[in-house]
């Protein structure tokens, strides 16, 4: 009796988790009609960069190609504790470069605080945070301008992974990013705040007056999002703006990145949720419950197939799909291990080009 009750509780929790993915996905199936307006917002694009001489040029080229009035955009790179040519590359590209050296207070959160203190003096309407290894689509600022015109105080744009073919780790990251975008769009449609994702974050200047930036941990985005929720500031989702980046192509580097991300909490880990659903389903079937767990698995499978369709399918990616469970299992373990041992310091994730050099 006790075992049956415990199993039913597990199935209820699994159903709640499944609905947490299904409801927002259904909400976003009906698309809203986009509308055009004359741009009015002034943007400062803040690019924190630590030893990004290889990735930064592509990021700056994407910013130079933005379809938005140049007089309304300022780009500012923060060369944070760099030992390479990041600062020189930024200056040669004609953008503002702030150089920061602080061997004690290291990490993206400190770099952003350093940059915000200086760029806010220029009184931009919106500050947009873009990682130095990311690119932005040409219409991004137009979409954000329209979002802030509706009264938004903060927004998170879509984040896409552009290296889905770089092994099972790259494929898992790409599908996970597409899945996150779908659920975020749905939660926004329903009226909820969406998670911040570290890159592609936009804030109205007045937000920093109400909630000063003091997120200095390993997951600075989750820390600041929590403070925004406490201040009842909703983060909107802006799907018309897209950040594209490359996920770590090796499983080891992806796990390192997730060790830092696990500070966002257990429920924020899709691999851990998937592992829980798989375990609950297996135990339920062994105990004679079939229809209920089968329905849960079917819904999750359909939602992830939709994410894979968004990423794009090919014979190679189908092969990578077969290797994905091993990656998901490792990521689940990384997150679960974080209950005992949390990452207290910031660690920069290796870039794909660096991983290639290391392998060579």
CATH superfamily of 43-250: Spore Coat Polysaccharide Biosynthesis Protein SpsA; Chain A (3.90.550.10)
Cα angle value 313/194/168 (rounded, 5°): 30
* pLDDT in 10s for each residue of the chain, 360 residues: 667 787 788 888 888 888 888 888 888 766 665 556 788 899 999 999 999 999 999 999 999 999 999 999 999 999 999 999 999 999 999 999 999 999 899 999 999 999 999 999 999 999 999 999 999 999 999 999 999 999 999 999 999 998 888 888 889 889 989 999 999 999 999 999 999 999 999 999 999 999 999 988 878 888 999 999 999 999 999 999 999 998 877 777 777 766 665 554 555 567 777 777 888 888 888 887 788 888 888 998 899 999 999 999 899 999 989 888 888 777 777 766 655 555 555 555 555 555 554 444
CA distance 266 to 208: 28
The full set of domain ranges for the chain reads 2-26+252-352, 43-250
Q: Using alpha carbons, list the distances in angstroms from residue 331 to 59, 216, 261, 273, 338.
A: 28, 24, 11, 11, 11
DSSP state of 211: S
In sequence order, what are the beta bridge partners of 76?
46, 96
Per the CB < 8 A criterion, the answer to whether 138 and 67 are in contact is: yes
In this structure, what token pair is assigned to residue 159? 């984040």
pTM of the model: 0.87
- 328's torsion region: left (phi>0), alpha (psi -120 to 50) or beta? alpha
């Amino acid at each position: 009796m006790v075992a049956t009750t415990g199993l039913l509780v597990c199935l209820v929790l699994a159903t709640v988790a499944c609905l947490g993915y299904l409801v927002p996905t259904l909400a976003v199936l009906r698309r809203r009609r986009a509308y055009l307006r004359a741009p009015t917002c002034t943007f400062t694009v803040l690019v924190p960069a630590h030893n990004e001489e290889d990735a930064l040029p592509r990021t700056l080229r994407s910013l130079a190609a933005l379809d938005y009035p140049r007089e309304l955009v300022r780009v500012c790179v923060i060369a944070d504790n760099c030992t390479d040519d990041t600062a020189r590359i930024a200056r040669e590209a004609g953008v503002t470069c702030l150089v920061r050296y602080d061997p004690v207070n290291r990490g993206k959160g400190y770099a952003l605080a350093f940059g915000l203190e200086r760029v806010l003096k220029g009184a931009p309407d919106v500050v947009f945070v873009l990682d130095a290894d990311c690119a932005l689509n040409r219409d991004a600022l137009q979409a954000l301008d329209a979002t802030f015109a509706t009264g938004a105080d903060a927004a998170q744009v879509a984040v896409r992974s552009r290296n889905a073919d770089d092994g099972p780790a790259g494929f898992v990251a790409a599908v996970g990013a597409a899945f996150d975008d779908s659920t975020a769009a749905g939660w926004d449609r329903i009226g909820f705040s969406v998670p911040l994702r570290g890159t592609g974050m936009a804030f109205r200047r007045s937000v920093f007056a109400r909630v000063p930036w003091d997120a200095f941990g390993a997951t600075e985005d989750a820390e600041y999002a929590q403070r925004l929720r406490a201040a009842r500031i909703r983060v909107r989702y802006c799907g018309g703006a897209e950040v594209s980046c490359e996920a770590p192509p090796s499983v080891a580097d992806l796990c390192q990145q997730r060790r830092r991300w696990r500070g966002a909490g257990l429920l924020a880990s899709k691999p851990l949720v998937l592992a829980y659903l798989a375990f609950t389903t297996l135990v339920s079937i062994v105990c004679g419950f079939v229809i209920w767990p089968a329905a849960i698995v079917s819904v999750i499978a359909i939602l992830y197939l939709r994410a894979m369709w968004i990423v794009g399918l090919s014979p190679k990616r189908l092969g990578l799909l077969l290797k994905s469970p091993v990656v998901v299992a490792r990521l689940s373990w990384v997150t679960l291990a974080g209950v005992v041992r949390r990452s207290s310091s910031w660690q920069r994730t290796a870039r794909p080009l660096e991983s290639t050099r290391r392998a060579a």
